Amino acid sequence: MRTTATVAALAAVMLAGCSLSTAAGAQSACAALGGTVGPDQTCHARSESDDYTLDIRFPIDYPDQAALTASLTQRRDDFVAWFTRMPNWYPGELDIIGTGYRSGQLASGTQSVVLTIGTSGGVHPVTTYESLNYDLSKRAPITFETLFRPGARPLEVLNPIVQRELDKHGATGALTLEDLGAKAYQNFAITDDAIIFFFNQDGLLPHERGSLTVEVPRTELTSLLA
């Protein structure tokens, strides 16, 4: 069986950031991954070998296809590289499910896609997240830093809200909100009613408690949002 250290190594691989360069080619993310588009306008890319299975699904309408392509291919390549160089006694699996979110008007609001990334390699599955957010009117990505007004101090509002949710679970993980600072909030989606934050497994909560999602009403952040 894999050790706890191996679990941590797997989590570290999937927590690694991806280069989201918009200089990548104009090819769609679905074409780049060799996927097919279903009637629900969702791309499905799947491949299998004796050693591992890759299963990736995501909506095809995210406006920054270069960023989405870079993110998905980097996650795929990181998993294959990790699985190839580690001794393996069980087949591995990488599942990525993309979920789309919107706010505002169709042509001038925001659009988000959140990738829920499940990995397994003979140990308990590990769930992590990666989000992409886009300002349709500015035609520019939205990061945690650009989500808020210059000079705003969002952690003073966010930390107490998220900490209350953590306290409900009655246990703490390897990291705290103070340890992570703004890094804790890099994965989010924007809706008309809330900013939804996604926290990886093996982070703020113990592994067995899984991942965490916290919806913060936009009314709590009105004076801070850009």
pLDDT tens-digit series, residues 44-86:
999 998 889 999 999 999 999 999 999 999 999 999 998 888 7
pTM for this entry:
0.86
Question: Mean pLDDT throughout 104-133?
Answer: 92
What value does the mean pLDDT take over residues 14-35? 62
The CA distance from 138 to 148, in Å, is: 15
pLDDT in tens, 111-125: 999 999 999 876 678
CATH 3.30.565.40 domain locations along the chain: 1-142
Structural contact between residues 2 and 88, judged by C-beta atoms closer than 8 angstroms: no
The answer on pLDDT for 5 being more than 60 is: no
CB 168 within 8 A of CB 112: no
Separation in Å, CA 89 to CA 48, 52, 81: 17, 11, 16
User: In this structure, what are the phi and psi dihedrals at residue 94, rounded to the nearest 5 degrees?
Assistant: -120, 120
The per-residue pLDDT for range 174-215, each reduced to its tens digit, is: 889 999 999 999 999 999 999 999 999 998 999 889 999 999
Work out the average pLDDT over 158-164: 96
Contact of 70 with 18, CB cutoff 8 Å: yes
Residues 6+ apart with CB under 8 A from 20: 67, 70, 71, 132, 141
% pLDDT > 70, the chain:
87
- Where in the sequence of the chain do the CATH 3.90.640.20 domains occur? 144-226
What is the model's pLDDT at position 14? Answer: 38
Can you tell me the distance from the alpha carbon of 37 to that of 214, in angstroms, rounded to the nearest whole number?
A: 31
Domain at 1-142: CATH architecture: 2-Layer Sandwich (3.30)
- What is the average per-residue pLDDT within 22-47? 86
Q: State the architecture of 144-226 in CATH terms.
A: Alpha-Beta Complex (3.90)
Please report the pLDDT score of residue 3 as a whole number. Answer: 36
